[in-house]
Amino acid sequence: MVAIQPARPLPPLRIGVFDSGLGGVSVLRALQRELPGAELIYAADSGHAPYGERDPQHVLARSEALAGHLRREGAELLVMACNTATAVAAAALRAAHPDWPIVGVEPGLKPALAISPSGRIGVMATQATLASPKFRRLLDELLAGAAPGTAIHLQACPGLAAAIEAGEADSPAVRAAVAEHTAPLRAQRVDTVVLGCTHYPFAAGLIAEALGPGVRLIDTAEAVARQARRLAEAQHAARLDAAGPSKLALWSSGEADTLARFVAQRLERPLLPVRRLPV
């Protein structure tokens, strides 16, 4: 009689996630909810943050380096949890890795247009994102089909991501940057504001308070996580169902303690070790 060996459990899907720093933790949080059995590998490039105030060549080079690192670590799917990196480098990364599913982050203009009562919409983002050809094409396409009277007000927010990157989302520096960058949107009487940087959701309470009652905020982290799940299901559905509790590995080019504390607080996890990025 031949003994039947029990089937080995399938390994969890490994998903690589990178951002210029702490901001991508907002996407990491959504991925953890959407794909609770996946193994997440997060690379925070805090030593080079913020990308929104860097030139495109630097952002492209860092994106290529981080993507390469995450692939070497076994990531089977990549999430670019950074609006600026997506705007600058997504096309290049997809061309360099045609066999690798890659999910990017874009400002939520389409959902904002769908829910705005007046069509007066603000977009808070980095200057690099707002100036990128990718964003401009998206904006032009949506405006071409928008209702008459639609007005989209672009608000670059220099200094806001860097203030949040310090690890305290309600610090005086964050409050000052929020006050400065929301004032023009209040003057334009917008009723919907797109958070076009993954750092900004961590200051969403302050932004909502500064904009006043009735202004809705659009954060695309949940949509990004759903897209990651769709791509994962297309190739690895059985592994998603069979996986156990999620695992998380952290890498950083900046202060390890800052990332460890930030992740522990925002994801309600114990402090995890943070390894130094080798790229």
Active site residues: 82, 197
CB 53 within 8 A of CB 128: yes
DSSP run (H or E) holding 122: strand 120-125
Residue whose C-alpha is closest to residue 230's, from 101, 91, 107, 86: 101
Tally of CB atoms within 10 A around 255: 18
Residue 192's DSSP bridge partners are 121, 216
Give every CB contact of residue 68 below 8 A, 6+ residues apart in sequence. Answer: 279
| 118 labeled binding residue | no
| 83 labeled binding residue | yes
Distance, first Cα to last Cα, the chain: 54
Tally of CB atoms within 10 A around 136: 12
* Torsion sign, CA atoms 72, 73, 77, 81: negative
| 170 labeled binding residue | no
Tokens of 6: 């029990």
| 236 labeled binding residue | no
Question: What is d(CA 230, CA 222) in angstroms, rounded to the nearest whole number?
Answer: 12
Question: What is d(CA 84, CA 154) in angstroms, rounded to the nearest whole number?
Answer: 15
| 84 labeled binding residue | yes
Alpha carbon 264 to its chain's center: 18
Cα angle: 159, vertex 32, 107; to 5 degrees = 40
CB 203 within 8 A of CB 92: no
| 52 labeled binding residue | yes
Binding-site residues, please?
19-20, 51-52, 83-84, 198-199
Binding-site residues for substrate, please?
19-20, 51-52, 83-84, 198-199
